[in-house]
Structure 1
Amino acid sequence: MEDSIHEIEHEHINQCGNESKAASSLSADKLLEKLLRPELATLYTDLKAYGERALLEPLPSLSFRLYSQFSDTGERKAYEQAYFDRRGRLAAVAMLALDTARPDALQALEEMLWDVCGEYTWCLPAHLGTGEVIQVKGNIDLFAAETVHMLAEIVTIHAERLDPLVIERIRFEAEQRIFTPLYRDQQKFHWQTADHNWSAVCGGCCGMAALLLLQDESTLRESISHTVNCMNAFLSGYGEDGGCAEGIGYWVYGFGYFTYYAEMLREYSEGELDLLTGSKIAAIAAFPLRVHLSGGTFVNYSDSAEQEEIPSGLLSLLASRVGLQVDLPLHIPMLTDDPCHRWAHLVRNVMWSDPAVYGDKGAFAQAERGFIFQNLGWMMAKGALDSPNTKRTNDAPLHVAMSVKGGHNDEPHNHNDLGQFIIHCGGENILCDPGAGLYTQAYFAPGREQLFHISSSGHNVPLIEGQEQSSGRQAQAHVLEAKLAEGGGELDTTLDLTSAYPGAASLARYTRQFHWEMSSDGSRDRAELRLIDRFQWKSRMVSSGERFSSEDESDAGYSSIVERWMSRVQPDVVKSGNLRWQGVHGTVRMAYDANHWRVFTEALDTVDHDNVPVTFYRTSLSWTGVIDEMDVRIEGPDPLETVCEVRFIIESKMGEIEVSQCE
C-alpha cells in the first residue's frame, strides 16, 4: 500500500490541479443548503443555540495563569476547556454566518478569527514542556494543526464576505506558525514518522490548510509530498487486519483525518492522487463496525470510551468509497457532543452524511458475527439470544458478545491489559474495560502504570504473587489458539501471558483459555464463556500461612493468585460458588469453585476521561487452596500447577437460569 502511494505521488504530483479545485466543495451556499436538510435539524438547533450564546459572550480568556498551570502543577483541564470552548464558539458562529441575513454573525466571526490569530500559541501547554518562548516558536502539535485547518476552511467558505485584512492576517499567521517551519525550513517533528494518530492529524490538517491557502506552487508540491509521507507513517501502524491498537476513539481521530485529507487531495488532483484504495484501507475502514457490539457500545481497549460518536459524515463517505456496510442506525453527532468541538468532523457531517447508507436491512444481515484481528491480537464473537418472551411478543433479540485482547504492553495509549476480556449484553459491557482516565501530566509520565485506568489492577486480569503486569514490548501475549466458528457461534482462544509477569519469581508459565458458545436448552437461548487460567510453578510449593516457600529458599515468594473482574454493576451472591451481575437487559452469572476460591467485591471511585465521577466494582477471587508436599496424591492435583476455571452464563434478564459449580 505504501509503495503504491509513493508511486502515484511522484508520477502525478506535478500535474495536480489548483487551490480552487481543493476548495470547490467548500462553498457557503452549498454548505447552507446541506445544513438545512431535515435530517440535520437537530444538529442545526444545537449549532444555533451554541452560536447565539457565543454572540452574547466574549471568548474565554487563555490567561497566563491558565497557561502556566500545566508546568506548575500538571493540571491541564482548565486551560483546555477554555481553549476548546473558543474553537467551538468559532465553529458555531462560522456556521451561523452562512446566513447572509446575519451581519451580526459575520462581524462576530471576524472578531473571533482575529482573536485566535493573536493567541500566544495554538498548541496545548501539555505538548510544550515548560512552555517557554523557545518551545513555542515554530512548534506544531495536534491542535495547532487543527487550528490552521479550521481557519483555512472558514476563510475559504467566507472568502467573499470577510474583511480582506482578516484574510491577510490568517494567511500571515498560517505562514509563520505552520508553513515556514514545516515546508520551507523543513523543521523535523516527532509526529512526521509516528505510526499512530499524530502523523495523520498533524500531517493531514497542515496538508489541507496548504491545499487551501498556499499560492506558491513549489511549496504546495512540497506540502503534498510531506503529507503523503506522514500518511505512509500512519498506515505503518496498522496491520493488514485493519485493527487500531489505540482503540475506536483514536480510529475516529487518526483515520478520520487521514480520510479527510485523502478526499481533499483526490478532489485537488482530479482523482490522480487517491489514498483511499486497497485492501488494507478497506480493512481499516471496517474496524469500527467489527468492534461495535450492540446499541452503540464498542470494544474500548486502550484510551477509548464504550460509547463513541462515529462521525456520520465519515462513515457515509467510507460507505461510498470502499463499500463499507454500515449496520448502525443513523445518528448525526452534535457539535456539543465533542468536548474538543472539532471543526473537521462538524463540516463533513454536514457535507457528507447520507441517511441512505444507514439502517439498511441488508447491512444488518451481512454484519460480521465475529472477527479475529490477527495482527492486533484482538478476538471477538457476537450473537443474538431469543427467549420465550422474545418469541411471544416479537421483540428484538438480546445482543450478546465477548472480546479478548492480546497484543503487547507498549502500544500507543497503552494499558497493561494482556488477556483482558469484555462480556457484553443488551448494549451494555457488563464485565468491562475502564477505558481512558483523565489526562494529566502524570498520565503520560514515567510511573503511569500505577494509575488505575492504566494498571492491570483496573482490568479483568489476575494478580500473581502480588505482581501486576509489567510495561514494555517484552510483555506480550502469545496466541496459542484463535479459532472462530462460522457465524460467530463459537470462539476458542488460548493465550500465553507468562511474559507479562516477570516479577512473579515462582511463575513458570501462565496461560489463559477462553471458550465461547451460543446454545439453547429448548426453551431459552443463552451464551456461555468458559475461562480456564493455568498457573505453572517452577518448583513444588508448600503452605506457610499466607506466605509460600519452595524447596529452594532462593525461590521464596508468594504463590498467591487473585483473579479480578471489573464492572459498573455491583454483583450479588446467588449462593456459594455463584455470583450475578444484573444488567439493564441481561444477566451475567459466574460459577466458580468455592472450595478453593474466596470471593470479595470492592467499590473503586475514580473519574473518567471527561473528569466525570464513576464507580467500578472489582470482584476478586482469591486462591485459598493449600498444597502440602507431605500429602501429594498420585491422582491428586499437580503441585506445580494452580487452575482457576469459571463459567460465565449470559441470558436475558427475565426468568431463572440453572447454574452449577465448575467441575
Structure 2
Amino acid sequence: MEDSIQEVEHEHINQRGNESKAASSLSADKLLEKLLRPELATLYTDLKAYGESALKEPLPSLSLRLYRQFSDTGERKAYEQAYFDRRGRLAAVAMLALDTARPDALQALEEMLWDVCGEYTWCLPAHLGTGEVNQVKGNIDLFAAETVHMLAEIVTIHAGQLNHLVIERIRFEAEQRIFTLLYRDLRKFHWQTADHNWSAVCGCCCGMAALLLLQDESTLRESISHTIKCMDAFLSGYGEDGGCAEGIGYWVYGFGYFTYYAEMLREYSEGELDLLTGSKINAIAAFPLRVHLSGGTFVNYSDSSEQEEIPSGLLSLLASRVGLQVDLPLHIPLFTDDPCHRWAHLLRNVMWSNRAVFGDEGASAQAERGFNFRNLGWMIAKGSLDSPDTKRTNGGPLHVAISVKGGHNDEPHNHNDLGQFIIHCGGENILCDPGAGLYTQAYFAPGRERLFHISSSGHNVPLIEGQEQSSGRQAQAHVLEANLAEGGGELDTTLDLTSAYSGAASLARYTRQFHWTMASVGSRDRAELRLVDRFQWKSRNVSSAERFSSVDDSDAGWLSVVERWMSRVQPEVVKSGNLRWQGVHGTVHMTYDANQWQVFTEVMNTVDHDNVPVTFYRTSLSWTGVIDETDVWIERPNPLETVCEVSFIIEPKMGETEVSMRE
C-alpha cells in the first residue's frame, strides 16, 4: 500500500501549487454562510456571546504559579481551565472575524494568535512530568497537536486578512515545535504506536497542520506516511466489532480526529487516498448509535459521560461517507458544551452538519435493537414498553435497555469493572456506571484502582472475601454464553469472573448470569433482568467460633460476599426483600431473598470529570452466613456454593393510585 501512496503523493504534491487542496473548503465566505444557517442559530448565539466577552477581556495568564501546581500538588484543573479558556476565546473570535465588517474581531484575533505562539509550551503540565525545561523542549502531547492544527486552520481561513508577521510566526512555531521533530528529525514519541486515542489525535492534528502549512514536497510526503502509520496503530486498538474500550467520549475524540484527517487527506489527494473504507471502519462508525440507549444517554463504561455530545458534523460526514444510519434527532452541540472548546469539532459542526441525515429516535430507521460486541466483551439489548400511562404522559413508548460489560482490567482508561451492568429506563441509567472522575495526578498514578470511580467499589459488582477486583490483563471476563435474540427482546449471557478476584483466597469460581426478557402483564408492558451470581468455595472446615456476621465492608472477611448496586436515584424499601428506584419516567423494582441477604444503602459523595459534585447511592446486599462442610449446610445440593439471585423489574412509572393499590 505504501508504494501506491507515495506515487499518489508525488503526483498530487506537484500539482498543488501555492495553495493546498486541503484548504479548498476553508473559505471564510463559505464558512460565514454556513454559520448563519437557521439550524445553527442557537450555536451562533452561544458562540457570539462567548466571542463578544473575549473581545472585552485579555487572555487569561498561564502563570508560573499555575504551571507548577501539577508537579507540586498533583492539581491540574486551574491551569487547564485557563489554557482551554484561551483556546475557546481564540476559536470564538476566529469565527466572529469571518464577518469582514468586524475589524475589531480581526485585530483581536491577530493579538490572540501572537499570544498563543508565545506560550512557554503548548503541552499540558500533566503530560510533562515535573515540567522542567528538558521535558518541555521537543515534547508533543494531545494539546500541542490540537493547537498546531487549530492555528493552521485559522491562518488558512483568514490568510487574506491577517498581518504577514502573524502568518510567518505561526509557520515558524509550527516548524520548530512540531514539523522538525516529527518529519525531519523523525523523533520517536510513545503515542506514535499507541492503540488508543493518542495516536489518532496527535498524529492526525499534526498531519492536518502539515497538509495546510508545509511547502516542502519531501517533508509533506513524510508527514502523510507518518500519519498513516499512526492511524494503523490507532485502528489496531479496535476489533472487527468496532467497539471502543475507552468509551463513547474517547470514540468522539480518537475516531473523530481520525475522520477529520481522513477527509482532509481524501480532498487533498482528489479521492486517491481514502482511509474511510472497509467493514471495520463501518463498524467503528456505528459504535455511538449502538451504545446509545435513549434520550441522548449512552453506555458510559471507562472514562465517559452518560450524556455525551456527539458532534453533529462528525455524524453527518460519516452518514454521507460510510452510509451510517443516524436514528437520532439533529442536535448541534453548543460551543460552551465542550469545556475544552475544541476547534476541530466546532469548525466541522459548522461545515458538515446536515439536517437531512438525522432521523427520529425509535423510528423505523433504527437499524439495531441490540448488539453483541464480541471482541470488546460488551452486550446491549434495547426495547420499548407501552402502557396507558406512557401514552398519556410521554406521548410514546418508554425506551428501556440493559448493558453488560466483560473485557479485562487493563483496557485504556480502565476501570476495574468486569461484570458491570447498566439498567436504562426513559433516558436515565437508573443502575449506572460512575463514569470518569476528576483527572488529577493520582488518577493515573500507581494505586489508582483505589479511587472510587476506578475501583470495583464504584460499580455494580461484588466485594468477595473483603477483596475488590484486581487490576491487570490477567483479570479477564470469560464469556461462557452470549445469546441475543433478534430485535433485542431477550438476552442471555454468562460470564466467568473468577480471575478478577485473585485476592479472594477461598474463592474457587465466580460466575455471573444475566437473563433479560420483555413481556406484557395485564395492560402493562415490563422488562425483567434476572441476575444470578454463583460463588463456589474451596473445600475447608470452619469451627463455630470462627463464624461471623457483618454488613460492614471494612469487616468483610473470608467466605463473605457483598453485592453492590450504584444509582443516582435513592432507593426505597417497599417491603422486606423488595426495593424500588423511582426514575423520572420509569421504575425499577428489585426482589431478593431477605432471609439470606441483608440490605443497606450508603451515600457516596464525589465529583465528576468536570469537578461538579455528584451523589451516588450504593445499595449493598450482604451475605451473613459461613459455609461449613460439617454443619447443616451439608444438606444443600452443593454445600460449597453461595448463590445470590435477584430480579429487576423495569416498567413505566405508575401513578399514585396504582402504587398504593400494588402495595
Describe how 1:566-585 pairs up with structure 2 within 5 A.
566-585=566-585
Give the one of 10, 16, 37 matched to 2:12: 16
| Residues 462-473 of structure 1 mapped to structure 2, 5 A cutoff | 462-473=462-473
Give a deviation string over 1:54-73, Cα, whole Å, max 9, x none. Answer: 00000000000000000000
Query: How far apart are 1:625 and its partner, in Å?
Result: 3.1
The 3-state SS of whatever aligns with 1:105 is helix
Aligned twin of 1:427: 427
User: 2: CA distance between counterparts of 1:298 and 1:419?
Assistant: 18
Equivalent residues in 2 for 1:345-424 (5 A)?
345-359=345-359, 364-391=364-391, 395-424=395-424
Do the aligned partners of 2:633 and 2:639 also contact (CA within 8 Å) in 1? Answer: no
Question: How far 1:94 sits from its partner (Å)?
Answer: 0.2
2:240 maps to 240
Show CA shifts across 1:181-221 (max 9, x none). 11100110000000000000000000000000000010000
For 1:114 and 1:128, the matched residues in 2 are separated by: 23
Aligned partner of 1:39 in structure 2 is 39
Match of 2:332 in 1: 332
- Displacement, 1:14? 2.0
CA–CA distance in structure 1, aligned partners of residues 659 and 511 of structure 2 = 30
Letter in 2 for 1:15: E
Where 2:67 maps in the other structure, the secondary structure is: helix
**SS of residue in 1 equivalent to 2:487:** helix
**Displacement after TM superposition at 1:366 (Å):** 3.1
| 1:266 corresponding residue in structure 2 | 266
Contact 1:569/1:616 (8 A) holds in 2: yes
User: 1:448-459, aligned counterparts within 5 Å?
Assistant: 448-459=448-459
Report the alpha carbon displacement of residue 389 of structure 1 after superposing the two structures with TM: 2.6
Match of 1:275 in 2: 275
Give 2:552's aligned residue: none
Identity %: 88
The AA in structure 1 aligned to 2:423 is I
Q: Does residue 499 of structure 1 match 2:499?
A: yes
CA deviations over 1:6-50 (Å, ceiling 9, x no partner): 465244222224352100000000000000000000111111100
Contact kept, 8 Å, 1:548 with 1:558, in 2: the verdict is: no
Return 5+ residue gaps in structure 2 as ranges: 550-555
What TM-score results when the alignment is normalised by the length of structure 1?
A: 0.96
Q: Is the 8 A contact 2:559 2:627 kept in 1?
A: no
Q: Which residue of 1 aligns with 2:617?
A: 617
Q: CA deviation at 1:317?
A: 0.2
The structural deviation recorded for 1:365 is 3.5
CA separation in 2, counterparts of 1:478 and 1:659? Answer: 44
**SS where residue 487 of structure 1 aligns?**
coil
Distance (Å, rounded) in 1 between the aligned partners of 2:465 and 2:101: 71
2:256 corresponds to 1:256:
yes
Q: Determine whether 1:599 maps to 2:589.
A: no
Q: Does 1:586 align with 2:582?
A: no
**Does 2:65 match 1:65?**
yes
Alpha carbons of structure 1 residues 393 and 252: separation in structure 2 relative to 1, 3 Å: closer
Equivalent residue letter for 1:387: S
Correspondence list, 1:143-222, <5 A: 143-222=143-222
Deviations 1:468-518 (A, max 9, x none): 000000000000011000100000010000000000000000000000000
The answer on whether the counterparts of 1:591 and 1:659 sit within 8 Å (CA) in structure 2 is no
SS of match in other structure, 1:324: coil
Shift of 1:659: 13
C-alpha displacement of 1:544: 4.5
| Deviation of 1:654 (Å) | 1.2
Measured after TM superposition, the shift of residue 560 of structure 1 is: 0.3
Provide the C-alpha distance between the structure 1 equivalents of 2:361 and 2:477, rounded to a whole number of angstroms.
38
Q: Please give the secondary structure, in 2, of the residue aligned with 1:618.
A: strand
Q: Deviations over 1:531-560 (max 9, x none)?
A: 0000001114536467579xxxxxx96110
In the aligned structure 1, how far is the partner of 2:213 from the partner of 2:588?
56
Distance 1:366 1:125, change over 3 A: same
* Counterpart-to-counterpart distance in 1, 2:616 and 2:535: 27
Deviations 1:135-192 (A, max 9, x none): 1111100000000000000000000000000000000000000000111001100000
Kindly state the Cα deviation for residue 265 of structure 1 after the two structures are TM-superposed: 0.2
1:523 Cα offset (Å): 1.0
Task: Give me the TM-score of the superposition, normalised by structure 2.
Answer: 0.96
State how far apart, in whole Å, the 2-side matches of 1:135 and 1:272 are: 39
Deviation digits for residues 427-481 of structure 1 (CA, Å, limit 9, x no counterpart)? 0000000000000000000000000000000000000000000000000000001
**For 1:25 and 1:439, how far apart are their aligned partners in 2?**
36
SS where residue 140 of structure 2 aligns? Answer: coil
Which string of whole-angstrom CA distances, capped at 9 and with x for unpartnered residues, describes residues 310-331 of structure 1? 0000000000001101111111
Question: Is 2:54 the counterpart of 1:51?
Answer: no
Provide Cα deviations, 1:375-416, integer angstroms capped at 9, x if missing partner.
000001000000123356882100000000000000000000
Separation in structure 2 between the aligned mates of residue 136 and residue 631 of structure 1, nearest angstrom: 67
Distance 1:607 1:633 in 2: 44
In structure 2, what is the Cα distance between the partners aligned to 1:582 and 1:257?
39
CA distance, structure 2, for counterparts of residue 527 and residue 401 of structure 1: 9
Counterpart of 1:311, as a letter, is: P
Q: Which amino acid aligns with 1:326?
A: V
Task: Look up the SS of the partner of 2:256 in the other structure.
Answer: helix
Matches within 5 A, 1:469-484: 469-484=469-484
| Alpha carbons 2:156, 2:212 under 8 Å: kept | yes
- Partners of 1:612 and 1:393 lie apart in 2 by 31
- For the residues of structure 2 that align with 1:307 and 1:336, how far apart are their CA atoms? 15
Query: Conserved in 1, the CA contact under 8 Å of 2:60 and 2:82?
Result: yes
Kindly indicate whether the alpha-carbon contact (under 8 Å) linking 2:536 and 2:640 is maintained by their aligned counterparts in 1.
yes
Q: Matched residues in 2 for 1:446 and 1:357: separation?
A: 45
Whether the aligned pair in 2 keeps the contact of 1:541 and 1:639 (CA below 8 Å) is no
For residues 95-174 of structure 1, the aligned pairs below 5 Å read 95-174=95-174
Using the alignment, how far apart are the partners of 2:423 and 2:67 within structure 1? 42
Q: Secondary structure at the match of 2:542?
A: strand
- 1:219-258, Cα deviation, whole Å (9 max, x unpaired): 0000000000000000000000000000000000000000
**Correspondence 1:561 to 2:557:** no
User: CA–CA distance in 1 between the matches of 2:429 and 2:366?
Assistant: 23
Q: In the alignment, is the contact (CA less than 8 A) between 2:547 and 2:626 conserved in 1?
A: no
**Distance (whole Å) between structure 2 residues aligned to residue 81 and residue 431 of structure 1:** 32
TM-aligned CA distance change 1:118 to 1:391, over 3 Å: closer
RMSD of equivalent CA atoms: 1.9
| C-alpha contact (below 8 Å) 2:560/2:626 kept by paired residues | no
Residue 448 to residue 545, structure 1, CA distance change in 2 (3 Å) = farther
- 464 and 21 in structure 1: CA distance in 2 versus 1, 3 angstrom threshold: same
CA contact under 8 A between 1:566 and 1:616: conserved in structure 2?
A: yes
Contact 2:629–2:640 under 8 Å retained in 1: no
Give the corresponding residue for 1:553: none
Give the whole-Å Cα distance in 2 for the aligned partners of 1:633 and 1:594: 18
Aligned residue for 1:629, secondary structure, equals coil
Which stretches in structure 1 are left out of the alignment for 5+ residues?
550-555
The separation in 2 between residues aligned to 1:209 and 1:347, in whole angstroms, is: 15
Query: Does 362-371 or 602-611 show the bigger shift?
Result: 362-371
Structure 1 residues 607 and 390: CA distance shift in structure 2, 3 A = closer
- C-alpha distance after superposition, 1:621-641 (max 9, x if no partner): 000234443434665252210
Q: Is the 8 A contact 1:506 1:557 kept in 2?
A: no
Count residues in correspondence: 650
Cα drift, residue 84 of structure 1: 0.1
Q: Which letter maps to 1:588?
A: V
**Cα separation, 1, equivalents of 2:4 and 2:341:** 34
Q: Contact between 2:194 and 2:234, CA under 8 Å: does it hold in 1?
A: yes
